[in-house]
Amino acid sequence: MRTQVAIVGAGPAGLLLSQLLHLRGVDSVVLESRDRAYVERRQRAGMLEQGTVDVLRSSGVGERLDREGLTHHGLELRFGGAGHRIPLTELTGGRTVTIYAQTEIVKDLIAARLAAGGDVRFGAEALAVDTGAPSVTFRQDGETRTLDCDVIAGCDGFHGVGRAAVPGLRTYERDYPYAWLGVLAEVAPSTDELVYAHSERGFALHSLRSPRVSRLYLQVDPGDAIEAWPDERIWSELRARFATSDGWELRDGPIVEKSITPMRSFVAEPMRHDRLFLAGDAAHIVPPTGAKGLNLAISDVIVLAEALVARYDEGSDKLLDAYSATCLKRVWRAQQFASWMTTLLHRDPAGDSFEHRRQLAYLDYLVASKAAATTLAENYVGAAPTL
Ligand code: RFL
Ligand code: PHB
């Protein structure tokens, strides 16, 4: 078997890369260890930067996104029993963010690749990558095969095999003493815009999926088992953390999915070795508070697709050689923002009251100062993807 670009992983990074290359006449094969239903159902991100929306549109997968995506012009910071709106669009020269679930992006991209005759293989687990040959050994239907290629794209997420093939990798890591319990509930959202709530009981986030489905998150202990959180306890804790002095009410409804995710910051450098290029969660993880993970994965593959096209069309390796440094600049900016926003909003489990007062002082400043609010807004909406 042979292709130009072997892509490991059918998450948003691998699928969009395959689509971008296809549109520019470059062949790829996508190898995905899970089955299609699993990758289409895996509940994750939902907040898209404008640059992400723009690239999905220009890649021919924006139709449903335009119909069903929810455009947002602001967000709410809630603390001390009151809500404060940060007018994102006003503070960023007209930029917006869009709520459209990662599951839907993945479905749209898979449908587009398959409709165009693309080779996306589910149940195909990459076992090893040879960065020099280059080739990927994978197992599908009980058979072990080798995919030869010009270039390998390691889009196989944090637990994939790509990163392990980079010798001399330098990693930077930070763990946080909290985790997120995420729930998907069949109930109309109680808010039009996202609510990031800081409270003495811990952080909570009210996000949305559609006019009838809400997505909510709760700061929990990283050691907590999901069994410790029956639905009733989740709703009562959410109610307590979102409570305002003006009687705002949280609507509840059936919880259809819930899971606990640890929080970490992680960067692996460089994002390239030989003919292997890492993209998305394979190379970096951000805590979800700043909503940057999916957007970074998309931005990596935009850079990678342009660089590969320059190589095939013009014979130039200049952009490929700059790939790692180009991506890492944006990655570190996002790391800084995500860890800042995380530590600003979460409760210190040790109950450090100095830390709590420091957070409240900064939150007061954020909503009182246009300069401070603009810093938050600019980072939240994200810069346009750059090459
Ligand atoms: P993915 O999505 O993990 O996809 C990797 C794919 O590779 C497959 N794979 C393999 N395939 C073949 N052979 C192997 N050996 C393989 N090993 C792994 C896996 O099965 C999988 O299909 O990585 P990708 O494409 O880099 O995408 C990254 C995003 O998924 C991630 O950054 C975001 O979901 C993070 N994130 C958020 N990002 C945002 O931008 N905005 C958000 O609002 C946001 N919220 C979140 C989030 C992540 C969360 N969790 C659960 C981690 C909220 C949560 C709760
Ligand atoms: C989501 O809708 O899943 C979401 C939104 C904002 C975040 C994290 C997750 O910061």
What CATH number is given for 176-263+347-381 in this structure? 3.30.9.10
Q: Which atom of ligand 2 is closest in space to residue 47's alpha carbon?
A: 5
Q: What is the DSSP string of 126-185?
A: EEEEETTTTEEEEEETTEEEEEE-SEEEE---TTSSSGGGSTT-EEEEEEEEEEEEEEEE
pLDDT at position 211 over 70: yes
Summarize pLDDT for 36-92 with one digit per residue, the tens. 999 999 988 899 999 999 999 999 999 999 999 999 999 999 999 999 999 999 999
Active site (annotated) includes residue 370 = no
Rounded Cα distance between 51 and 41, Å, is: 24
Residue nearest to atom 51 of ligand 1 (CA): 44
What is the per-residue burial (b if ≥16 Cβ within 10 Å, else e) of 100-113?
Answer: bbbbbbbbbbbebb
At 272, is the secondary structure helix, strand, or coil?
strand
Q: Where in the chain is the domain with CATH 3.30.9.10?
A: 176-263+347-381
Mean pLDDT of 130-135: 95
User: What are the structure tokens assigned to 7, written together?
Assistant: 């892509």
pLDDT at position 387 over 50: no
Which 8-state DSSP code applies to residue 105? Answer: H
Distance of CA 236 to the CA centre of its chain: 28
Tell me what pLDDT residue 198 has.
Answer: 98
At 45, is the secondary structure helix, strand, or coil?
coil
What CATH number is given for 5-72+98-173+264-341 in this structure? 3.50.50.60
Report how far apart, in Å, the C-alpha atoms of 287 and of each of 79, 173, 262, 375 are: 21, 11, 9, 19
pLDDT at position 386 over 60: no
Ligand positioned closest to the Cα atom of 15: 1
CB 27 within 8 A of CB 3: yes
- Which one from 100, 178, 217, 380 is the annotated catalytic residue? 380
Mean pLDDT of 145-150: 98
Please indicate whether residue 385 or residue 216 has the higher confidence score (pLDDT). Answer: 216
Candidate of 36, 38, 44 to mutate for ligand 1, largest count of ligand atoms within 8 Å of Cβ: 44
Mean pLDDT of 201-205: 97
Q: How many residues does the chain have?
A: 387
Summarize pLDDT for 248-284 with one digit per residue, the tens. 999 999 999 999 999 999 999 999 999 999 999 999 9
Tell me what pLDDT residue 385 has.
Answer: 58
Active site (annotated) includes residue 380 = yes
Q: Where in the chain is the domain with CATH 3.50.50.60?
A: 5-72+98-173+264-341
Band of pLDDT at residue 28, cut at 50, 70 and 90: very high
Ligand positioned closest to the Cα atom of 295: 1
Band of pLDDT at residue 247, cut at 50, 70 and 90: confident
pLDDT at position 383 over 90: no
Band of pLDDT at residue 369, cut at 50, 70 and 90: very high
User: What are the structure tokens assigned to 217, written together?
Assistant: 């998150």
Whether 109 lines ligand 1, by a CB cut-off of 6 Å, is no
CB 88 within 8 A of CB 81: no
